[in-house]
Structure 1
Amino acid sequence: MEEFGIKTSIHFGKNALEYLKKLQGAGICIVTDPFMVESGLVENITRYLKAGSYTIFSNVVPDPPLELVIEGVKEVIKQKPDTLIALGGGSAIDEAKAIMHFSRQIGNLPDMEFIAVPTTSGTGSEVTSFAVITDRVKGIKYPLVDSSLLPDTAILDASLVKSVPKSVVADTGMDVLTHALEAYVSTKANAFTDALAEKAAVTVLRYLVRSYTNPEDARAREEMHNASCMAGLAFDKTSLGVNHAIAHNIGGKFKVPHGRTNAVLLPYVVEFNADMTEFNPREYTLAAEKYAAIAQLAGFGGGNVRAGVKNLIREIRKMQEQLKMPAGLKDCGVLPEEYQKQKDAVTQGALSDACIQTNPRKVSREDILEILKRAYQGMR
């Protein structure tokens, strides 16, 4: 027997932020990054709140480290707020999740409501039970996985992503595509997660380049914001695969942005998972059939599964070029000597990553080294 349920209440569309009006008078802590405060973007939240009812914890940085989580926990336990609001991209929401989780446990604050308001269209973190925290000393990213990390409420307002830099639109958008495709071919996929993953993947293939090209394209922005959430709902139930298993470790060792890393790896992972050998030209894996189905739904399928998979890989690479993304890790600034020094550690870390357990194809050390080799050079 299988089960599918959604804990998080999702508010989206025009005026979605008006949900915050119900918090009038409540003690509120907003977790965000310094840019949100300095740019005044945090006022998109505070204008709905009563003056004096909230405080702002803005000590959030990319790849949130353990020490800042501890600092945030101390602050929240001291304040004992009724509501914690995470405002920002994946790093802000991940840090807020960890702060919320440990504050509820250590500070005995079980009734604290947790609201996530994403300002990028990429991680889907507003509806997932995952968070990633960094140990700077060891250079390792630790994925936290617990149902208690799920926000109670997510608010999707596409106006908050209008000013996102183009490079971030590209990185986060390709992260959504990776989430959707990995959830779709996961060994834990089911009919309900497939519906969400299919919709998310096709939406990205249709709207990401539009969103990147024209920030004023409100339809494209809203579609991408919703796709990010749908992909998050899917992979929260299915987990991910080897793409993320490798990416988690590349981020820790080489400091390449997470979405960019996923984009670089994605064509090679799709090809690996599809596992189409010339010796069995008509015996296709379930992953290959699913990749081909996505291509068909997006309008560039082909006469058979093989053609569909190849067209999907071709479309991913075409999008990378249109989004002016690097072709390989070398183009991301990873020096050859640095790559050689760390590739074994990245490989070992990937093999130990929980995401690899739900990859549709068994992965060996040699497989990861080969994917890394190709992804480093960025052969298109």
Structure 2
Amino acid sequence: MKEDKFILKSKVYFNNQSIQLLEQISGTKAFIVSDGIMDKLGYLQKAVDFLSNAGISSVVFTDVHPDPDVKVIADGMKLYKDSGADVLVALGGGSVIDTAKGILYFASKLVETEGKNFRKPLFIAIPSTSGTGSEVTNFSVITGEDGKVCIVDEFIAPDMAILDSTCIQHVPQRVVVDTGIDVLVHSIEAFVSKDATDFTDALAEKSIKLIFENLELIYKDINNADARDRVLNASCLAGMAFTNAGLGINHSLAHAVGGTFHIPHGRSNAMMLTAVMEYNADLAGTANGYAAERYAKLAEMLQLPARTKREGCVSLIRAVTRLKSVLGIEDHLSALGIDKTAFENALESMAEAAMADRCTPTNPRQPSKEDIISIYKKCY
């Protein structure tokens, strides 16, 4: 019997200047995972100061880089273990939060192998980008020797998420695009997932609507505070949706190609999106299955033409294509400067990695290895 459930572990706080809530938490020592950008912009010091006002001292780890790998996790684990912290704060983008999750996950496993009980810290996530939704998810993506590995465990979901859009007002335009499209992919994949429910649908639908209404606005003007709040909220809503419903092959393909050619995660997802939607909807065939029906429902919600499933799918894909164009996202992987021979040589290994990815089982249409390769070729 399928066990339908909806879990939301994280308490979510949202408002301008809500980072000040750090003054109200309980603890003795905090281990803060952040990066050089948040340090340079002064947000890291703000966090340290607010924690100090609560009587909590801080140890800071800022050696985080995009696509965190096992070395970063190991370095962070050593400092975390020595700190004796009872509060863990992740302040930054998806890579920072993924690093904090990785440190927490592997630190607990290490303590367990020593036959001891792991004392879990209060885990607080404060995102500085509107994209991953990682502040409320049980997902973490770590780069290993064989590519990106997706960890899925309820243990690593933050206890508290603070959404303060002032923390994202200095985000570069390209990061706004990459992370914003990542939100859209999260929501669409959660909505068409085999494990979607009424609860995840409500979150995914709202997130999609907010992205279509506001992402272009903050792309043009990051100082649009209202739109900035809405996109940050959309990111969190999408995270709630996919941590319960799962994702699909859009992420599986993006993990593999991004890890192979070092493409930012959001951009990788954007490059796969329309081709994956066409495949899932079976536009080359009957366009009459589950995914086609779900895409058509989204088209109706967005008030796009959807008199038939096929028309709804085409309308939604066109709307996505238009949004990508307005945001300046390249049409094909080749436009990113990826060498054709190198790409062709990597097809087999990328397809195998995508097939084995943790996101593939909940895709609405189960692909073969040949299907994956065909989608990759279409995206190139």
TM-score by length of 1: 0.94
**Contact map agreement 1:124 1:228 (CA 8 A) in 2:** yes
User: Is the partner of 1:240 in helix, strand or coil?
Assistant: coil
Deviations 1:61-83 (A, max 9, x none): 11101011011111111111110
Between the aligned partners of 1:63 and 1:238, the Cα distance in structure 2 is 24
Which residue is 1:133 aligned to?
142
Q: Percent identity?
A: 39
Q: Does 1:225 align with 2:229?
A: no
RMSD of aligned C-alpha atoms? Answer: 1.6
Structure 1 residue aligned with 2:125: 116
- The CA deviation at 1:41 is 2.6
Any unmatched runs of 5+ in structure 2? Answer: 112-116
Change (3 A) 1:185 1:102: same
C-alpha separation between the residues in 2 aligned to 1:338 and 1:8? 42
Distance in 1 between residues matched to 2:84 and 2:369, nearest whole Å: 47
328-337 vs 81-90, which deviates more? 328-337
Question: Which residue in the other structure is 2:190 paired with?
Answer: 183
Query: Shift of the alpha carbon at 1:275?
Result: 1.2
Q: Is the 8 A contact 1:274 1:285 kept in 2?
A: yes
Secondary structure of the residue aligned to 1:50 is helix
- 1:329 is matched with which residue: 333, 343, 347? 333
Could you say which residue in structure 2 is the equivalent of 1:79?
83
- How far off its partner does 1:25 sit? 6.3
- The TM-score, its normalising length taken from structure 2, stands at 0.94
- 1:202, 1:294 within 8 Å by CA — same for their partners in 2? no
Q: Does residue 375 of the first structure (1) align with residue 360 of the second (2)?
A: no
Q: Specify the alignment match of 1:253 in structure 2.
A: 260
Contact residue 24 and residue 50 of structure 1 kept, 8 A:
no
One-letter amino acid of the counterpart of residue 68, structure 1: V
Q: Which residue of 1 aligns with 2:8?
A: 6
Give the Cα separation in 2 of the matches to 1:371 and 1:234: 25
Is the deviation greater in 337-346 or in 47-56?
A: 47-56
Greater Cα shift, 46-55 or 210-219: 46-55
Partner of 1:64: 68
What residue in structure 1 maps to residue 114 of structure 2? none
The alpha carbon displacement at 1:325 in A equals 1.1
Deviation at 1:362, TM superposition (A): 1.6
**Deviation per residue, 1:248-276 (Å, 9 max, x gap):** 11111111111001111100111111113
Q: Does 1:349 align with 2:353?
A: yes
User: For residues 166-214 of structure 1, what are the alpha-carbon distances to aligned partners after superposition, in whole Å with 9 as ceiling and x for unaligned?
Assistant: 1000000110000001110111111101111111112111111111111
Say whether residues 1:209 and 2:216 are aligned partners. Answer: yes
Q: 1:24 to 1:276 in 2, by over 3 A?
A: closer
Say if 2:193 and 2:246, in contact at 8 Å, map to a contact too: yes
Secondary structure in structure 2 of the residue aligned to 1:117:
strand
Letter of the 1:124 partner, please give it: G
Residue 299 of structure 1: aligned partner: 303
Alignment partners' CA distance in 2, 1:277 and 1:325 = 25
2 CA distance for matches of 1:298 and 1:210?
A: 17
Output aligned runs, 1:260-299, within 5 Å: 260-277=267-284, 280=286, 284-299=288-303
Aligned residues: 371
Q: Alpha-carbon deviation of 1:232?
A: 0.6
CA distance in 2, matches of 1:362, 1:5: 26
Indicate the SS of the match to 1:354.
coil
1:132–1:144: 8 Å Cα contact kept in structure 2?
Answer: yes
What's the secondary structure of 2:80's corresponding residue? Answer: helix
Shift of 1:277: 4.7
The Cα shift of 1:310 comes to 0.6
Determine which of 200, 205, 210 is the counterpart of 2:207: 200
Counterparts of 1:66 and 1:25 in 2: how far apart (Å)? Answer: 28
Matched with 2:363 is 359
CA distances 1:298-355 after superposition (whole Å, capped 9, x unpaired): 2223332222111111111111111111111111121111101111111111111121
> Is contact 1:130-1:146 (8 Å) kept?
yes
CA contact (8 A) 2:27 2:86 kept: no
Which residue does the alignment assign to 2:30? 28
Asked if 1 retains the 8 angstrom alpha-carbon contact of 2:34 and 2:92, the reply is yes
Aligned to 2:50: 48
